[in-house]
Amino acid sequence: MISPRYHRDIPQRYRLEGGKCTKCSYIAFPPRLVCPKCKSKSFEPYHLSREGKILTFTIIKVGPDKFSKETPYVVAIIELNDGARLTTQVADCDVERVALGAKVKLVFRKIQDEGKSGLHCYGYKAILL
Amino acid sequence: MYGIVGYGSYLPRYRIKVEDIAKQWGADANALKRGLLLYEKTVPGLDEDTITISVEAARSALQRAKIDPQKIGAVYIGSESHPYAVKPSGTILIDALGIGPHVHVASYEFACKAGSEAMYVAYSLVKAGEMDYALGIGADTSQGAPGDALEYSASAGGAAFIMGKEKVVAEILFTHSYTSDTPDFWRREHEFYPRHAGRFTGEPAYFKHIYNSGKSLLEKSGMIPSDFQFAVFHMPNGKFPQEVGKKLGFTKEQMEVGWIVPWMGNTYSGSSPTGLAAILDVAKPGDKIFMVSFGSGAGSDGFIFQVTDEIEKVRNLAPKLRDMLDNDKIYLDYGQYAKFRKKIILNE
């Protein structure tokens, strides 16, 4: 049962809400309590840019049980236009076409289901531009 | 002035051609293409559903409306493929787009006209002065049983419309609805695929309701078909909308821009709304648009829109329907399609 954790993560998973350090402008995603750069504990809410580029990626050919029917698929580290980085799946693509530096945008997608009768869990994935 | 202040549409990138479905069932693809005027259709990805389609369409509508999402007082999503039987799709959409929580949310269902229902109620609430903005969406990941005629048309996509009274891009001049108990198409609870009454879905259902709604709308407005630059009707296949449009007095040229079904398929609740979005993508200030939806069961909602100068300022702020229809397509074979549409029985 992952419902309570799923609910707590909604701001970051649905709306890409992170935190921006009010002292040094470091963007923390997911949000943090302490800035890893200047140790400040003062953050303001920050919505990440929805566009960026692929920094690095891997092609998953043998996936975990819940994703085993979706192989092959790409998981990438994306650098967004505001400098924040996140890890996400790259959807709707021929995996052979994915390349370092490729431009992407983040879209709202279903990430997984809690079994046949549980919650549908939503979040972000990247698609190639 | 009341009407649309922002609009957006969304189509998945996956497609399947009529030939690939016909090959599976030993059907004559050329006869189907000639008879139904359908060539290919959109298919939702494994991670796409009515909610994800609605979120992306509504995100584009917000980009065009350029309003604070917090000012939206109501969100209605019309669909016959809501992912939950009990939990409104709009609850997830509002949290994804920063709308609410002080907002009225509901899921609508009326076969293929649930989207125009959502648009009508959103418009009516704004016109009644209950709120500044209301969002109406039509979206579906349509179901069609394997081997059934619907399998060639049932597709995925949607469109979203923010209704308001300031900076209106398309004023709503008149509306008219026509409804009766006509059992042409239905899906019982817990059933995966809809059932339909074959040819009975035509004359006493689709044609009767669209014609009567459209005719009354023309009478109410005092307008004639030649007053309109564009017309769009519900598109279960390529042939029906052209026939009903002709019967009402519209020409092929007036229907051409909104007639996207040959390459998109029938997006059910998203059908005429996506056609309307395609028209708004190209319409000029002053143009009049005639739209009539159809939902089995059965009913039709008719709208007359007049495009304003504001359209030129917002049209390029979000993706256009025709670009999504023509570009970045990924074709599936029938096996992949069956997997994507969860038509293959798997172990848990």
pLDDT tens per residue, range B232-266: 999 999 999 999 999 999 999 999 999 999 999 99
> How far is CA B149 from its chain centroid?
20
Start-end of CATH 3.40.47.10 domains in chain B: 3-169+318-340, 170-307
Supply the ipTM of this predicted assembly: 0.96
Smallest Cβ distance to A108: which of B14, B55, B83? B55
Residue extents of the structural domains in chain A: 3-128
- Which CATH superfamily groups domain B3-169+318-340? Thiolase/Chalcone synthase (3.40.47.10)
Chain A residues whose beta carbon lies within 8 Å of the beta carbon of residue B95: 10, 14-15
User: Does the annotation mark B112 as catalytic?
Assistant: yes
**What is the token pair recorded at B144?**
């069609």
Each residue's pLDDT tens digit, B105-124:
999 999 999 999 999 999 99
- Taking an 8 Å cut-off on Cβ atoms, the answer to whether A69 and B339 are in contact is yes
CATH 3.40.1190.20 fits B170-307, yes or no: no
Each residue's pLDDT tens digit, B39-56:
999 999 999 999 999 999
The CA distance from B49 to A9, in Å, is 21
Smallest Cβ distance to B13: which of A92, A110, A125? A92
Give me the CATH topology for the region A3-128: OB fold (Dihydrolipoamide Acetyltransferase, E2P) (2.40.50)
Chain B residues whose beta carbon lies within 8 Å of the beta carbon of residue A116: 348
Q: Please list the rounded mean pLDDT of every run of 10 residues in chain A (129 residues).
A: 82 96 95 96 96 98 93 97 96 95 98 90 97
Chain B, nearest residue to A119 by Cα: B84
